[in-house]
Structure formats: C-alpha cells, structure tokens
A = this chain, B = another copy of it.
Amino acid sequence: MKVIRDPLHGHIKMDELALKLIDTPQMQRLRRIRQLGFAYLVYPGANHTRFEHSLGTYNLAGILLDQLGIENEEIRVAALLHDIGHGPYSHSTEEIIQKYTKKTHEDVFGLIKKGEIKEILDEFSLSRDKIVKRIKGISDIEILHSEIDVDRMDYLIRDAYYTGVAFGLVDYLRLIHEMDFYSGKLVVKMGGIQAVESLLVSRFLMRPTVYYHHVSRIAESMLIRALDYLIEEKRLKVSELKRMDDYELNVFIKNSEGYARETIDRINDRKLFKRALYIGQGYINTGDLNRKNVRRTEKEIAETVGIDDGYVLIDVPKSPKIEETKAKILVNGDIKPLDEISQIVKTLESAQWENWRIGVYTLKEHLSVVEKVAKEVLGVEKMHRQQTLERF
C-alpha cells in the first residue's frame, strides 16, 4: 500500500496492482493530456490532466465499493484505466476520431490486449474482457458508467477546483453514503436526493460556464478543421492521431504547413477566431443545419463574403442530453426514475436548450460582414448574446 497525494481527495491509497498499472506508458501518457481540452484558454488554472482524474475515479470507486460491501478488483481497475482511450486534448478530438474510426474513447480493448497492461492483468489473473465491459458500461454493477457514477463525481469537483468556478461542488461523500444495492441494482436512497440534484444542477451550470464556453469551442472548432484538412490530404493518419498526447499533436501541427500550421499558431498565441453570431435554439431551423451540411454552408458564407474556405466556421454542438435523469431512486421500497421524484431534474432536460448555441466564428476583421451574410444564409432573425464572462 502506497499513497499518492491528491489535492481533492487528500491521500489516495493504491495497492501493488494499481501502482504497476499507473506506471505503464498508456497511463503515463494521460499526464500529457489536459482533462478539459482548451478550457485553459479561458480558465488559466484548468491544466489538470486525465491522469489525476483517473486516480480520483479509482479512489471514489474504492470508497463506493467499500460502502456497498463489494470486493471487485475488475471494477477498480476499470476505474483506473477508463480514460486510456482518449485522444489528445480529450474531448476536442473525440468527434473527429469517431468520425473516421467509428469508435469512442471507451473502446480500449486494443490498448490492453497486449503490452504492459496485458502482462500485469495476466499476472493478477484479471479478465480483460470484464474490464473492457466495465469501461464501456456493459455490466450489471454500474459504478463507473451509470446515471450517477464516480467518473462524473470526480470530474465535477476536479474541474471546479482547477477552474475556480464554484458550481461543480458536489457533496460526493453524502451521495456515496446514500448509495446501495437493492434488487440487484445500484440505487440512491432518499437521503441522497439533494446530493443527486446538486450533482445534476452542477453539470447543468458547468456546461455554459466551462465545458461549452465559446472560447474553448472556437479553439476546438479551429483544431478540428485543421485536423480534417490534414487527414483528408493524407498528411495525418487517424490511427496515429488517436495515440498522440497533447504535446505530440501540438508540435506535429506546428511542423506542418498552410492552414494547419496557421491554426496551431493562432491557438498557441491565443489569436483565435471571434464569434460573429450566436444562435440559440428556436432562432433557426436546426433541422436545416445538421452536422452533415455544415461545411457546405460555411463555404457558401465564405464565398459570399469573399474569404478563403476555412475562415468561417460553424459550430453545432451536440443536442444536450442528461442521462442522469433516469438514475434509480429508492422510495419507500420502490425504485423510481429520478425525474419522477424531482421536478428540478425533470426541468433540466428541457432547460439545457437554454444554454445551447450554434456559433459562427471568423477572423476579427470579417466579423460584421460574416454576421450579416451568415444571418441571411441561415435565415436567422435574432441572435443570442453570450451568457458568460465576455473575455474569459
């Protein structure tokens, strides 16, 4: 038993197996992947990594297993390894990797079927299949990947700690204390209802403030476009991309040419595109502007304005979805979905759309003309103003 110091959880106790696992290249690589992608451009403290989040998740999984009276080494290992499949800049490259490979960051089988991790798991007689299933959430005891899980608890408090934004503070001690098994299912007892509501509202508030802040979204949109070009022109293989860390991807693009090189310089020097237009739900027929035809529309706007392709970016975030609303609550002996018990949670599903925005980004010098043209092309009457700190 050794301990590792974590600013959130104090001391994290790690057994021999866990210590061996974290000293593999797959885990150590996570030290060079920022947890929140480009959020550091808005919140200068947001430099925390997938590595420490993995330790934190492992720690909470252990606390929860203790609370439930379960001894299950595979779950603990899955908690530790659950993020090794992430590409560089975390979620920022998720979409593009998925587009080309049809795989999410949870498809980690390829990473543990050989090499150091495989050897360690074999040494401790642990099933790789079971661990992968835990990570992908295909299992009966849903500690790691569930409506209310330890992954989410750790990242909310961790993101709050490093950004300095007070919203993410979740009473995870209370929440874990109120979790139990009932009829073979992981439930939250009524005593934890406020803690669950708090967790969900925290996520709800963290979205516009941190996770979907327009400055992060702009940097991310720019990077994705640059990667698209590099992949389309066969200058970068997706199979290589997904194994890179932030360092490697950053320097790789810096060593490229043209648009991609210009983009990474803009990101590194924070000379980002600006927001020309911000369109809330209801102000546009979003059916017309799905993620598919976005590039055609961007091109149309750019041509009309008279600038090069790639200098007008349209950012259509995924539809907000909150799985946690279906968390199982134990009420007087019955299991009910959370949104039946809690009005506030029920509301969150639709309220999410209040913070959802399509963004149109371009160079500073073209802002007003792009705004005008984009409104016409997209058929927008009115636009939303940013709801967060103007600059950061």
Which residues of B lie under 8 Å from residue A201 when comparing CB positions? 197-198, 201, 344
Selected interface stretch from A1-9, A133-141, A314-322, A372-380: A1-9
Q: Are A6 and B164 in contact, with the CB atoms below 8 A?
A: yes
Q: Is the CB of B10 within 8 A of A164?
A: yes
Q: Are A11 and B166 neighbours in the complex by a CB distance under 8 Å?
A: no
Question: Is A170 located at the chain interface by the 8 A CB criterion?
Answer: yes
Establish whether residues B191 and A390, one from each chain, have CB atoms under 8 Å apart when the complex forms: yes
What is the distance, in angstroms, from A31's C-beta to the closest C-beta of chain B?
A: 6
* Structural contact, A29 and B194, CB atoms closer than 8 A: no
Q: B391 near A2 (CB under 8 angstroms)?
A: yes
Interface size on A, residues (CB 8 A): 83
Contact A169-B169, Cβ < 8 Å, known A25-B268, A350-B343: yes
A283 interface hit (Cβ, 8 Å): no
By a CB distance below 8 angstroms, the chain B residues around A164 are 5-8, 10
B162–A7 contact, CB under 8 A? yes
- Chain B residues, Cβ within 8 Å of A177: 3, 11, 389
Residues of B within 8 A of A248 (CB): 251, 254
The distance from the CB of A270 to the nearest CB of chain B, in whole angstroms, is: 5
Chain B minimum-CB-distance residue to A271: B23
Tell me, rounded to whole Å, the shortest Cβ–Cβ distance linking A43 to chain B.
6
**Contact digits for A141-169, partner B, Cβ 8 Å, 1 yes 0 no:** 00000000000000000000111111101
Tell me the bound Cα distance from A350 to B194 in angstroms. Answer: 16
Nearest CB on B from A9, distance (A): 9
Does the CB pair A392–B4 fall under 8 Å? yes
Whole-angstrom distance between the alpha carbons of A392 and B174 in the complex? 12
Q: Known: A48-B47, A350-B343, A385-B332. Is A392-B40 also a contact (CB below 8 A)?
A: no
Interface centre among A31, A166, A169 (most CB of B within 10 A): A166
Determine the chain B residues whose CB is within 8 A of the CB of A45 once the complex forms: 5-8, 48, 52
Nearest B residue to A11, CB-CB: B173
Task: Given A19-B391, A44-B31, A47-B47, decide whether A194 and B198 contact each other with a Cβ distance below 8 A.
Answer: no
Partner of A194, one of B3, B10, B167, B331: B167
Bound-state CA distance A198–B248 (Å) is 39
> CA–CA, A341 to B201, complex, Å?
16
Q: How far is the CA of A346 from the CA of B351 in the complex (A)?
A: 10
Q: Is A297 on the interface with B (CB-CB < 8 A)?
A: no
What mask results when residues 4 to 40 of chain A are scored 1 for a CB within 8 Å of chain B, else 0? 1111101100000001000111001101101000001
Q: How far is the CB of A390 from chain B (nearest CB, A)?
A: 7
Q: Which 8 A-B pairs have the closest CB atoms?
A: A7-B164, A343-B351, A347-B347, A251-B251, A44-B52, A166-B171, A247-B247, A47-B47
User: Besides the contacts A166-B170, A194-B388, A247-B250, what 12 more A-B pairs have beta carbons closer than 8 Å?
Assistant: A3-B392, A24-B269, A28-B270, A44-B55, A47-B48, A191-B390, A194-B208, A201-B344, A204-B344, A331-B385, A342-B354, A343-B354
